[in-house]
Amino acid sequence: MVPGSRGDLDVFEYALLRVVPHIERGELINAGVLVYCRARTYLAARTHLDRDRLFALDPCADVRGVRAALQAVEGLCTGGAHAGQAAGEEPGSRFRWLVAPRSTIVQPGPVHTGLTADPEAESERLLDLLVR
């Protein structure tokens, strides 16, 4: 049995990706989810930006810029060449870097844990439940 594993269930961690157009107001919308499962060497981000909700918080929001930031997070998770220097890092290191607090328009929420038999399906489930 893999450490951190219970039968066919493995521990996973996740954090929401939030868009905070005006940090001083503290208003936000959920726009994605990061999922990391060490036992399965899985790291992914699933995103969905609801333009109407974003414009309700900030009618002048830079949608292209927000989408670019969300796509950058997705790219960092895959570890491809577009991930830059981080591409060579282990998935756990990339996850920890992505969930570190920051004061940009796209911010990670707190990290939560759970058990799953399928981290990819869990990513979609959490996106549907918490973002869409």
Q: Tens of pLDDT along 55-90?
A: 999 999 999 999 999 999 999 998 765 656 676 789
66: Cα separation from own chain's centroid? 14
Report domain extents, the chain: 5-130
Q: What tokens appear for 98 in the block?
A: 């992505």
Please report the beta strands in the chain, taking only residues with DSSP state E, as ranges in sequence order: 5-6, 9-19, 29-37, 42-47, 106-108, 112-116
Nearest-angstrom CA–CA distance, 45 and 125: 12
Write the CB contacts of 118 (distance below 8 Å, at least 6 apart in sequence).
Answer: none
Residue type, 86: A
pTM: 0.88
pLDDT at residue number 40: 95
